[in-house]
Amino acid sequence: MGKSRVSIVKTNPQPDFTSIRQAVEKAIHLIGGIADLIKPGMKVLLNPSWVALPTEPEKGCITQAEVTRAVANIVREMGARPIIAESAAVGVDSEKVIAASGYCSLRESGYELIDLKKTEKVMIPVPGWKVFKEIESHVLVREADVIISLPKMKTHDQTEITCSIKKLKGLLSDQYKKMMHQEGLFEGVVDLLTAVKPQLTIVDAIYCQEGLGPVFGKPVEMDLILAGKDLVAVDTVCGLIMDFSPEEVPLTMTAAARGLGTARPEEIEIVGEPLSKVCRRFLRSMEDNPVQVEGFNLIYGGVTCTGCRNTVMSALVDMRNAEQLMYLPGVTVVTGDPEISPFVPAESIVTVGKCVPEGKRGRRYVKGCPPNNAYVVQAIIGDRGKARRMYAEGDLESTDKK
Ligand code: SF4
């Protein structure tokens, strides 16, 4: 079998639409074109990231509308029908993301642009499933002839990085987005990848985020577009650009282990810009603004992976942003399976994640793998107050990230 080809193309700094369109075209050309995938008359679902506000391109949070526009134009010119469809994170109104971003003018100029939250849902079976026998998505997703993932390249507080695979959570119903965190995020997202099978990804790596992505990270301008038909290989290359080894990114490794693509650099052919010219170490989520408060203890048991580490760190930063750090003294947060001193009062312990053995979970247990940040915040606060929403609307039950 040949190598998986991934293209890397540089745009101008602070690129305009013309520069972005040229870069997207070149990235597609370098992977051998897409005439094998897209035929006249096909319905082609373009799936950008609309996770949440902020929407300014320079903030690096959502897929820049010009990237989506460039891909939509190319699909149209091939005689197919581009449908731009996505749903924002749970608790976030996709229409507000559209209204505050360049997607609004795409809609006004006649592009088919759909908030999946408003569309009919359907169960889609997962062949070779690990967590979900079937997933709840949307009729539009099931009926698309081709799905193109259009992610933003960022670090992520639960999965190290988010790119072509992770962003597919936007194709799920809100209920299933939440269930992913409860039942197992890594295998769950790979179940989703198996079910919807995107055939192509074009990555917006123009303005990215490092540190506490996917919403509150620090913007980084990289001026890159990547393309490839093997999503695992593309995400592996994006990881390498951000200086993550494949082994550091559990989602990519899980997808590779299930035969959905390759995460081995020696099996990937990089075309266009050489990796060495575009690499830049991205700040890890865990390294971004750790919160230290006297009287608050954090114990990571040996089995704790980055999912729970980053979740807890992100929960603490959420509390700082919400001015709720006063709830931390006297609390001990525990992940994994550590020994806990008998002198730590049981009522002060918050246990997090399914790796905490059942007998040690106690009353303040947050289930999930990894759990959602907001539930960790609420468990820390207990009945003393309510977790404040940092980017979503509605009650805690509707909080999620993708
Ligand atoms: S529950 Fe365990 S496996 Fe899951 S994210 Fe937490 S530490 Fe990792």
Could you tell me the domains of the chain?
Answer: 4-284 (3.40.50.11440), 289-398 (3.40.50)
Nearest CA to ligand 1 atom 8: 305
Give the span between the Cα atoms of 379 and 191, in whole angstroms: 29
Take residue 399 and report the two structure tokens written for it.
Answer: 């909080």
154 CA distance to ligand 1 middle (Å): 21
**Is residue 28 in contact with ligand 1, taking CB distance under 6 Å?**
no
Give the span between the Cα atoms of 361 and 14, in whole angstroms: 49
For residue 303, give the ligand 1 atom closest to its CA.
7
Give the span between the Cα atoms of 140 and 206, in whole angstroms: 28
Which of 304, 313, 358 has most ligand 1 atoms within 8 Å of CB, for mutation?
Answer: 304
Q: Return per-residue pLDDT of the chain as tens, 402 residues.
A: 689 999 999 999 999 999 999 999 999 999 999 999 999 999 999 999 999 888 999 999 999 999 999 999 999 999 999 999 999 988 789 999 999 999 999 999 999 999 999 999 999 999 999 999 999 999 999 999 999 999 999 999 889 999 999 999 999 999 999 888 878 899 999 999 999 999 999 999 999 999 988 888 999 999 999 999 999 999 999 999 999 999 999 999 999 999 999 999 999 999 999 999 999 999 998 888 668 899 999 898 877 877 788 788 889 988 998 999 999 999 999 999 888 888 899 999 999 999 999 999 988 999 998 898 899 999 999 999 999 876 666 656 555 444
94 CA distance to ligand 1 middle (Å): 29
**Is residue 37 in contact with ligand 1, taking CB distance under 6 Å?**
no
382 CA distance to ligand 1 middle (Å): 22
160 CA distance to ligand 1 middle (Å): 13
The answer to whether the CB of 126 falls within 8 A of the CB of 251 is no
**Is residue 300 in contact with ligand 1, taking CB distance under 6 Å?**
no
CB atoms within 10 A of CB 183: 18
**Is residue 355 in contact with ligand 1, taking CB distance under 6 Å?**
yes
- 299 strand-pairing partners: 334
353 CA distance to ligand 1 middle (Å): 6
Which of 157, 249, 335 has most ligand 1 atoms within 8 Å of CB, for mutation?
Answer: 335
186 CA distance to ligand 1 middle (Å): 10
To the nearest 10°, the Cα dihedral for 270, 66, 15, 215? Answer: -80
Give the span between the Cα atoms of 364 and 384, in whole angstroms: 13
**Is residue 307 in contact with ligand 1, taking CB distance under 6 Å?**
yes
**Is residue 369 in contact with ligand 1, taking CB distance under 6 Å?**
yes
Quote the pLDDT of residue 286.
81
Quote the pLDDT of residue 347.
92
**Is residue 370 in contact with ligand 1, taking CB distance under 6 Å?**
yes
301 CA distance to ligand 1 middle (Å): 10
